């Protein structure tokens, strides 16, 4: 089954990304994690996201364009990235999610994906 895993990170973990003293260790841990996913042959895509303050949120209501700076969800942890994996079942997805570097400080949302859309 195909799952998406959304990575919700603490402000502290986001701060490590731009702290010269900590960023190499921080990204090194993530690289090892994703190398493990790739080595297992289950990685199906995804991306890291720039920090929440780079977000723009938009909607249309009664024909009016509404724009807000910042992410949609006003939550304690914030979305820092997401990835998709192909695994046997939810237990396997949870096993991989539990090893994710953000699991011990932030939170992970695991959601089954819809079947891919037809290309034509």
What residue ranges bind other proteins (CB under 8 A)? 4, 6, 8, 17-18, 20, 23-24, 27-28, 30-31, 34, 45, 47-61, 65, 71-73, 75, 77, 79, 81-82, 84, 90, 94, 97-98, 103-104, 106-114, 117, 119
Q: Which two tokens stand for residue 25?
A: 């260790």
Q: Which is nearer to other proteins, 41 or 91 (CB)?
A: 91
Q: Which two tokens stand for residue 100?
A: 């994710």
Least separation in angstroms between CB 10 and other proteins: 11
Least separation in angstroms between CB 88 and other proteins: 16
Q: Which is nearer to other proteins, 41 or 50 (CB)?
A: 50
Q: Which is nearer to other proteins, 11 or 113 (CB)?
A: 113
Least separation in angstroms between CB 62 and other proteins: 9
Least separation in angstroms between CB 82 and other proteins: 6
Total Cβ atoms within 10 A of residue 49? 16
What 3-state class would DSSP assign to 120? coil
Distance CA 70, CA 82 (A): 18
Distance CA 98, CA 92 (A): 10
Check if the beta carbon of residue 75 is closer than 8 Å to that of residue 8: yes
Q: Which of 91, 90, 104 is nearest to 33 (CA)?
A: 104
């Amino acid at each position: 089954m195909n799952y998406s895993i959304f990575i919700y990170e603490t402000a502290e973990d986001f701060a490590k990304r731009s702290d010269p003293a900590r960023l190499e260790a921080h990204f090194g841990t993530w690289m090892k994690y994703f190398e493990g996913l790739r080595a297992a042959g289950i990685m199906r895509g995804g991306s890291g996201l720039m920090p929440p303050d780079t977000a723009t949120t938009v909607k249309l209501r009664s024909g009016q364009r509404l724009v807000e700076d910042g992410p949609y969800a006003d939550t304690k942890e914030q979305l820092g990235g997401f990835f998709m994996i192909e695994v046997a079942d939810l237990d396997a997805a949870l096993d991989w999610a539990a090893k994710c570097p953000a699991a011990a400080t932030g939170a992970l949302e695991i959601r089954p994906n819809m079947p891919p859309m037809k290309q034509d």
